[in-house]
Amino acid sequence: MTSATPGTSTAPRSSATRRRSRPQPCRWCGREVPDAGLGRRRQYCRQSCRQRAYEQRAQVKGTSVAADAVVLTAEEAADLSDRIYQVRCAAEDVSIAAEEGVVGAELRQLCEALLAAAKAADGWR
């Protein structure tokens, strides 16, 4: 028989506990939302994001536009498409380098370029 110290559990963590330990992105801007630990999990990282989401829902209410639709200008859509293309090109460069047996500093440089392109593409929100 094993003994547990008071206040600890030897039972495996539930799926709800595992879900809470994962970082959750803000539903408006995508930043990580800090977890308060108790109660319902926050959906927005700050009050301004919550307000922008409310304003967006209010604007589309009563229209044929879906409440969770993302509306981009033509310029924003073209910019996002360009950034995604840069990620694809950087990923292809890494893949080709790996096939050719490139190692060391050159491969590290290609991976850093891929990471930079991915971060730039992620900042579209």
Cα-Cα-Cα-Cα torsion 53, 56, 60, 66, nearest 10 degrees, comes to: -50
By the 8 A CB rule, do 94 and 111 touch?
yes
The pLDDT tens digits of the residues spanning 58-101 come to: 888 888 888 777 778 899 889 989 999 999 999 999 999 999 99
Contact 87, 121 (CB under 8 A): yes
Confidence check: pLDDT of 29 > 90: no
